[in-house]
Structure 1
């Protein structure tokens, strides 16, 4: 693979490595911090001003990243060496054009486009790579959805071809709910209201025991996996995560194999010899012990925020190193907590309309082994994730309790 020797050390100098971050939320903020610590110049772009990563980057922009012309103009102005997509709502054709003209896209323009498209990703995973998945079909109309649901059986899950955080997703118990599921998929998909119709994926609802995230890193040194991350979700969005997830050795071996094979398959289709970065591979573990591939994000994963407490190098540090062409090996992804200890994260979700103010931090962080990240998003508009509590405990259970206690001890007002 290509050897990269980035110029780092003076972000405001004449010749720093320049990174354009597309998406400036809480995950992007930590990526910007990790890059800045390595002497990289960062421009953080998002659809609004004051996004978390914009507050810590050397430069920032507010644009509609789905607008191909606006995105191309931004790239021309910033002249980045590296583009880092941190969200999925991006004009991917522009990324491909930039990559063709010598800009590195992390991990690649092709991978970003594949991972945001459930049809392309599932076809690659199941049909080309032979990864185990739930039974599924695709449908491009309500009539096709009815036929597909009859084939996979009820209950089933209907998802838009492109969406995130559970938007447009619904569980269908019988044929009478399919019309509503089709409508929800159209309204919750990416680009809703553009006058087009989205295809959907229909999946058999599996007998799920639990979900795992396998953070998998592709770098100049090859592919390695972090310790498994357990998680709890509400309405398709992450609420708690913990590491290491306690799983049987056979299940862990299979989870690692699937994660490595999924990332290796994406790397092989990357269209570039530098397909480096962190991938969040989402897996289902069934009650009968089978492990199924679900999806993969070609970037740090929200459940991976626990690594800020559990690993010496968080998922954000690993992402920064990998994209700069630095080797990431087994020792780099190791846990920093004790053999029998555990770490946990708990999302702090705030409801209301206005600015969120955090108080009583002294009480919230009084217990040793606890920490807090306030995302500093400008406003809450209804319901929004505004921070994350972190904790380390004598085991995973204690860590999870401590993380929840941090969140509960905070006094949060929306003003």
Structure 2
């Protein structure tokens, strides 16, 4: 069983694993990564990874106390959600009530009627974010080159690889990613599961150069779509190899673009109601070192990521501009 989305019935996965099915990376890991509370406790309190100051709350009163403890400004998130759903930045105590309501009503599965616990964490002096794709396989754990990214409302819009980071940041990022995945794989082994697959480890790089653990996606990561241009084996190919018990080494996870070059991806988000029809592809892909992947999604209702533009450039700015040109030139009609 290979989960490909965040909102999954982890109890069903546990039953499947107990019946002898292979769950990727494991039923236990899927359950941990769906729950920000369990994940943060493991990462910070068990593995000793650096994180922002945080508290958990199950009531509005506990949230008020937690926010006072971590200080303002702070971020409030539901423990069971993703992609910015139900998340708020709170600048003062006056905003706590609204943040609690947003966490309950804006999160994924809000219609189930239960009260969601939340995490409140200090708003760190963020410089930028990184994703480190980390692969657990029969050969052990390896990491890919770090990926830079741009988000809108907590959702991926652009990514590029390798991210321009100094040696100290790179070493911290790789160590944190490796340690986080090693800890999660240990949880899988404790339940008799492999823990094989690709993990997207999300990190914060602060203005002072320190690196903090944020979250883990136990599957190929949206920012990792850039690997379809940057690596000989994309994150999807690496995931498949790991799942099938094949060894994945540093050589398999290495960049394949020229030395000094950068690859970029640009999400193509379509708005409307109906079927998306793509055209003008020849002009969109006229520039060298560009490519396009159109997803097999039949319809869009509201807004939906329907494709991704890919490009290779001499540096991050060049690659991002090329990928952006593909996205801007492509024509998408919703019928």
Residues 208-231 of structure 1, C-alpha deviations (whole Å, 9 max, x = no match): 000000000000000000000000
Q: Is the 8 A contact 2:77 2:103 kept in 1?
A: yes
Residues 320-346 of structure 1, C-alpha deviations (whole Å, 9 max, x = no match): 000000000010000000111110000
1:394 equivalent among 302, 308, 314:
314
Counterpart residue number, 1:226: 144
- Structure 1 portions without partners, runs of 5+: 1-82
Following superposition, the deviation at residue 273 of structure 1 comes to: 4.4
Correspondence 1:90 to 2:5: no
Alpha-carbon separation, structure 2, partners of 1:132 and 1:182:
26
Counterpart residue number, 1:324: 244
2:207 equivalent among 278, 287, 308:
287
Q: Is the 8 A contact 1:225 1:333 kept in 2?
A: yes
For the residue of structure 2 that corresponds to 1:269, the secondary structure is helix
Following superposition, the deviation at residue 191 of structure 1 comes to: 2.3
Greater RCO (CA < 8 Å, at least 6 residues apart): 2
Alpha-carbon separation, structure 2, partners of 1:273 and 1:235:
35
Q: Is the 8 A contact 1:108 1:272 kept in 2?
A: no
Mean Cα deviation higher: 84-93 or 202-211: 84-93
For residues 332-371 of structure 1, the aligned pairs below 5 Å read 332-371=252-291
CA RMSD of aligned residues (A): 0.8
Following superposition, the deviation at residue 398 of structure 1 comes to: 0.9
Alpha-carbon separation, structure 1, partners of 2:195 and 2:119:
27
For residues 25-40 of structure 1, the aligned pairs below 5 Å read none
Correspondence 1:378 to 2:294: no
For residues 125-136 of structure 1, the aligned pairs below 5 Å read 125-136=43-54
Counterpart residue number, 2:32: 114
- Structure 2 portions without partners, runs of 5+: none
2:195 equivalent among 252, 275, 278:
275
Alpha-carbon separation, structure 1, partners of 2:87 and 2:113:
20
For the residue of structure 1 that corresponds to 2:184, the secondary structure is helix
**TM-score, normalised to structure 1's length?**
0.79
Q: Is the 8 A contact 1:224 1:329 kept in 2?
A: yes
Counterpart residue number, 1:17: none
Alpha-carbon separation, structure 2, partners of 1:273 and 1:161:
25
For the residue of structure 2 that corresponds to 1:343, the secondary structure is strand
Residues 93-126 of structure 1, C-alpha deviations (whole Å, 9 max, x = no match): 2211211121111110000000010000000001
Number of residue-to-residue matches in the alignment:
333
Q: Is the 8 A contact 1:131 1:293 kept in 2?
A: yes
Counterpart residue number, 2:21: 103
**TM-score, normalised to structure 2's length?**
0.98
Correspondence 1:141 to 2:59: yes
Counterpart residue number, 2:93: 175
Following superposition, the deviation at residue 85 of structure 1 comes to: 1.1
Alpha-carbon separation, structure 2, partners of 1:288 and 1:393:
29
Alpha-carbon separation, structure 1, partners of 2:107 and 2:330:
34
Counterpart residue number, 2:216: 296
Alpha-carbon separation, structure 2, partners of 1:168 and 1:256:
30
Alpha-carbon separation, structure 1, partners of 2:50 and 2:275:
45
Alpha-carbon separation, structure 2, partners of 1:243 and 1:153:
34
Alpha-carbon separation, structure 2, partners of 1:190 and 1:232:
22
